[in-house]
Amino acid sequence: MTQTSLGESVVQKELHAQAQNNGVAANLTQTQPLWLLAEVTYRCPLHCAFCYNPTDYDKHTQNELTTEQWIQALRDARKMGAIQLGISGGEPLLRDDIEDIVIEARKLGYYSNLITSGVGLTEKRIQAFKEGGLDHIQLSMHDITEEINNFITNTKTFELKKKVAAMIKNHGYPMVLNVVIHRYNIGHMKEILEMAEALGADYIELANTQYYGWSLVNRSQLMPLKEQIDEAERITNEFREKVGSKMKIFFVVPDYFGDRPKKCMNGWGEVFMIVTANGDVLPCHSARVLPNMAFPNVREKGLEYAWKESPAFNKYRGTAWMKGPCVTCPEKMNDLGGCRCQAFLLTGDAESADPVCSLSPHHHLIEKAIEDSKNPVIANQPIIFRTDKNSKKYAAGDKERIEEFHALP
Amino acid sequence: MEISIQHSDIYALAFHHRFQWEEAQQSYVILFPEGMVKLHGGAGEVIKRVDGKASVGDIVADLKTNFPDAVGIEADIIGMFEMAYGKAWIRKV
Ligand code: SF4
Ligand code: SF4
């Protein structure tokens, strides 16, 4: 699944709005895992080049949690205050117990969301989900270039997507689309939006690729130019005016082109808790890239320990871990220093400021990445797709293309 | 958005929204795709009564009876309706 398929942008906006909403909603309770993301499997029939799954995901496809273990995790998290549940992957529908998970989620009072590519969604399954109390389905558009071609030429896979979209609507679900934007489709913004309209989308989230996992490996090839993003945003605004309130469009601006980082996951260990296919508990999707960190696993001490006591969750909570320029920065509460994974992946130091920040001494790395993406020699290197074979290579320590991003300052 | 709430209006929770008590938050919340809002005391009491049947007037009367000591409560209730409608948490039926 794509990173923003979590709906981070929307959540963050809402959380933010809450904080300002005097009278009605006050501040969030600090550090409560309101959001549980269950990445139930890393298996996936697709091979997206922008997948944020770990490049060595193949290691984790053999030891998935059982149904009982997932149900226990749901119960424990609920006790701790989790309320929004995302069921994601890989492709969650590759597991045949999603029905059981959905039923339990409803019983426990979660607001549950299935994040799927639609591959494997049948009439029988969706009916079971509806009866079980699944609240919401988010359809992710993958291999979007192909989808668009299909849309334009009106061929088979588009028909399939249309069928899935209709199924979702027929069961009374809102039609929520998530599309990952990158260089290969950003020129087709208008077609993408038209496709969403044709699918009857109520919401569409246009998420510019963020660079972790597979997408970082392919960064130079995927990153669009600033001008392309501006143009895409212009087209989006135009379209928004045309469709009015019928379709809500969210355009998530990529952080590389800003001068302040995002408050990653709304703060490390503040509101998000991710349980991965093999039971690792993470504060953010890509946290496993960080060095010298042992992440807790539900099979060992359980979720409460993971959230409250584990060294990993406490390490980057708040601001105590910061150093310059963040530690004395008047804006530090706005972004909490940005993303730890991005800081580490690009600077080699997990405690440095997110290099997206123009105050970071490593900001030139972002400028360089933008330059590289304009360099035809680099940008034309072949894309490395998320396949089991490539993943085995990474798991075995073959880092030919990853190494360069660890370059120390 | 210009909205004026009438006493005869009837509202229901918006589609795909759920209202429930959250033990861990000690408050009522509205849940919807990818988000949630926490409703403090009075706000929760208002939305709790929004059921697609009771009119705004009914709700005002009911709250006045239940909270006789609260002064100026009516304006607050109407304000809450305006906001909830403006944010599309509730819909008019
Ligand atoms: S390969 Fe594509 S569909 Fe599969 S998990 Fe990754 S982003 Fe999602
Ligand atoms: S210096 Fe650090 S805290 Fe300040 S804006 Fe930049 S990343 Fe945020």
Which of B34, B78, B89 to mutate to probe the A interface, most A CBs <10 Å?
B34
Question: For ligand 2, what atom is nearest to the CA of residue A337?
Answer: 7
Structure ipTM: 0.81
A207: left (phi over 0), alpha (psi -120 to 50) or beta: beta
Dist. CA A99–CA A70, nearest whole Å? 12
Does the beta carbon of A43 lie inside 6 Å of ligand 1? no
Q: What is the pLDDT of residue B51?
A: 92
From first to last of its 409 residues, chain A has per-residue pLDDT tens of 433 333 333 333 333 333 333 223 323 335 789 999 999 998 887 766 666 666 766 766 778 999 999 999 999 999 999 999 999 988 899 999 999 999 999 999 999 999 998 888 999 999 999 999 999 999 887 656 666 656 655 556 677 788 888 999 999 998 888 888 887 778 888 888 888 888 888 888 887 766 666 666 666 667 777 778 888 889 889 988 888 778 888 877 777 777 888 888 888 898 899 999 999 999 988 788 888 889 999 999 999 999 999 999 999 988 888 988 999 999 888 888 888 888 888 888 889 898 889 898 888 888 877 777 666 655 566 566 666 666 665 555 544 333 333 222 2
In this prediction the pTM is 0.80
* Residue of B20, B35, B83 with shortest CB distance to A24: B83
Q: Using an 8 Å Cβ cutoff, are A168 and A138 in contact? A: no
Within 8 A of B32 by CB-CB distance, chain A residues are: 111
Tell me the shortest Cα–Cα distance from B24 to chain A, in angstroms. 5
Is B75 an 8 Å CB contact of chain A?
Answer: no
Cα B25 from Cα B39, distance rounded (Å): 10
The structure tokens listed for A27 are 């501040």
CB atoms within 10 A of CB A136: 21
CB distance A18–B16 less than 8 Å? Answer: no
Smallest CA separation from ligand 2 atom 8, residue:
A337
Q: How many Cβ atoms from other residues are within 10 Å of residue A145's Cβ?
A: 13
The number of the ligand 1 atom at minimal distance from the alpha carbon of A180 is: 7
Whether the pLDDT of residue B6 is over 50: the answer is yes
Interchain proximity B35–A26, CB inside 8 Å: no
Distance A81 CA to ligand 1 centre (A): 29
Amino acid at B78: I
The rounded distance, in Å, linking the Cα atoms of A44 and A96 is: 14
The 3-state DSSP class for residue A393 equals: helix
Please tell me if residue B32 touches chain A, with a CB cutoff of 8 Å. Answer: yes
Please tell me the distance from the alpha carbon of residue A301 to that of residue A7, in angstroms, as a whole number: 29
Q: How far is A85 from chain B (nearest CA, A)?
A: 9
Q: Does B33 touch chain A (CB under 8 A)?
A: yes
Whether residue A23 and residue B43 make contact (CB cut-off 8 A), yes or no, is: yes
| Closest C-alpha to ligand 2, atom 5 | A331
Contact, A275 vs A88, CB < 8 A?
no
Q: Would you list the DSSP string of B56-69?
A: HHHHHHHHHHH-TT
Measured from the CA of A338, which atom of ligand 2 is nearest?
Answer: 7
Q: Is the pLDDT of residue B2 over 50?
A: yes
Q: How far is the CA of A275 from the centre of ligand 1 (A)?
A: 17
pLDDT, position A379: 58
- CB of A329 closer than 6 angstroms to any ligand 2 atom: yes
Residue B55 is classified by DSSP as: B
Say what the pLDDT of residue A277 is. 93
Residues of chain B neighbouring A138 (CB-CB closer than 8 A): 33
Enter the DSSP assignment of A31. Answer: S
pLDDT at A189 (0 to 100) = 85
